[in-house]
Amino acid sequence: MNVSKGSGTFRALTALDCLELYQAGTISPVEVVRDCLNRINAVNADLNAFCHIDADGALTAARQSEERWHKGQPIGVLDGVPATIKDLTLTRGMPTRRGSAATSAAGPWDQDAPLTARMREAGAIILGKTTTPEFGWKGATDSPLTGITRNPWNPKLTPGGSSGGAAVAAALNLGFLHQGSDGGGSIRIPASFTGIFGFKPTFGYVPQWPLSAMGMLSHIGPMTRTVDDALLMMDVITRPDTRDGYGGVTYKADGSGEAESLQGIRIGYSRNLGYADVAPDILRVTDAAVGQLRSLGADVVEIDPGFANPVEVFATFWFAGAAHLIARMSEAQKDLLDPGFLECAIRGEGITLSEFKDAEQARFDLSAKMGDFHESFDLLVTPTVAVAPFPVGMDKPDGFSGWVDWTPFTFPFNLTQQPAASLPAGLDDGGLPVGLQLVGPRYRDTKVLGAARVIEKRLGRLTPPAVQMTS
């Protein structure tokens, strides 16, 4: 690994590398944090990954961490590791505007959400807040408040969303552990578009407070350059919090992350879930990646899971959540909203209680269908997204009627609350990243993460060409 000193020279490190080098006394948290801040300042005006940078707070925390390491007394398993928090998640001392000009900057910003609290308790150093579309409503990252976030592979293209800022930060290693949230693909879409690893845990494993307006569609999870760093972050962020009303089942690592092959793993591979329209080069890349799964020992069967497109079910919950968000807003606040988000909210206002309950039943039936599927298969594998990254300033690619139509592989598994990951599978015909999605049964997150770790070793990592890293 490259650990020579000077600006930009720590950009190939992982979180685990950092901790090892802190322990050895080779580098210090102050050096690493200063390097991250220098690199953030060099690119953020162009790419807009961060909506808030807390340089003074991060350097103060880094000095405190450095003192602890000198004494051999790290405060926790992440002591001194630079991290970021998405602008939907409360962070003490930093504004959480949720990407919306309709929110107030006044604060007081005196509380941490459970994830932020667990990260701080483990010693992570919060560099700042990453950008999101307004209230995380869509799969691209731009908002009236923070402007357009751009893909480091090609700044004319979107990095996806809604965790687009976190994805850009991860792709460029602007910090090593990044928090995303995912209500319909918001971790996995940008992970696919930027060539990183993103993981949506089983709902309830990562405590949430306040409750998302999207209710039980919303999952919180890690976005990192490596699966090992995501495993490290999961061990921290899944620790319980009394404020979470949906907690109950405890995440527990089971050692499957140490597997070296996929021998004995039963995988169902669906190229289109039976209904999706997928770009040919996306299928070419995912077909090739699945071929590698077979060579790693997996028993792969090409099969669809057997459900119809649940887009209307998903839309019922999504629009209702948007309506809830604007219910107490003044007309002046509504005038400040992203027009696309406001349209969703207005549609949600017309949803009847009967329609909402019908959607709940359909969601229950879909979960049962996937439960039956996993009686035969340990994992479901699909492309992560059906299309390549598209131009910035658009809510969806040309030729699609709604934002979920171009990402048909992600939102069904928010309805079912299953763990799902996206990891880099290769490059499309335009030289842009393509993601491979792994979906597991509820509460078998370590099965997904363990398989992802094996696959990552075979397929390798992706890094934007302008900042190729040596490691």
pLDDT digits (tens, 9 = 90+) for 361-414: 999 999 999 999 999 999 999 999 999 999 999 999 999 987 788 999 999 999
- pLDDT per residue as tens digits for the range 425-447: 999 999 999 999 999 999 999 99
271 burial type by CB count under 10 A (0-12 exposed, 13-18 middle, 19+ buried): middle
> Annotated catalytic, 71?
no
**Residue with token string 């990562």:** 206
Please name the residues in contact with 355: beta carbons below 8 A apart, sequence gap of 6 or more: 316
- pLDDT per residue as tens digits for the range 308-346: 999 999 999 999 999 999 999 999 999 999 999 999 999
- pLDDT per residue as tens digits for the range 83-131: 999 999 999 999 999 999 999 999 999 999 999 999 999 999 999 999 9
| pLDDT at residue 5 tops 60 | no
| pLDDT at residue 471 tops 80 | no
Half-sphere exposure for 198 (CA within 13 Å, toward CB): 39
pLDDT at 8: 52
Catalytic residue (choose from 28, 65, 143, 162): 162
pLDDT at 6: 45
- pLDDT per residue as tens digits for the range 215-266: 999 999 999 999 999 999 999 999 999 999 987 788 988 766 677 899 999 9
**Residue with token string 């932020």:** 116
Closest-CA residue to 354 (of 312, 316, 309, 310): 316
Catalytic residue (choose from 28, 65, 86, 100): 86
Query: pLDDT above 70 covers what percent of the chain?
Result: 96
> Annotated catalytic, 4?
no
Q: Give first-to-last CA distance, the chain, whole Å.
A: 4
Catalytic residue (choose from 28, 65, 181, 186): 186
Q: How confident is the model at residue 3 (pLDDT cuts 50, 70, 90)?
A: low
> Annotated catalytic, 192?
no
| pLDDT at residue 468 tops 80 | no
Single-letter residue type at 282: I
Just give the CATH number of 15-467. Answer: 3.90.1300.10
Across the chain, mean pLDDT equals 95
As a whole number of angstroms, the distance between CA 62 and CA 56 comes to 10
pTM over 0.85: yes
Query: pLDDT above 90 covers what percent of the chain?
Result: 92
| pLDDT at residue 419 tops 70 | yes
Q: Are 436 and 423 in contact, with CB atoms under 8 Å apart?
A: yes
| pLDDT at residue 347 tops 90 | yes
| pLDDT at residue 4 tops 60 | no
- pLDDT per residue as tens digits for the range 395-407: 999 999 877 889 9
Q: How confident is the model at residue 2 (pLDDT cuts 50, 70, 90)?
A: very low
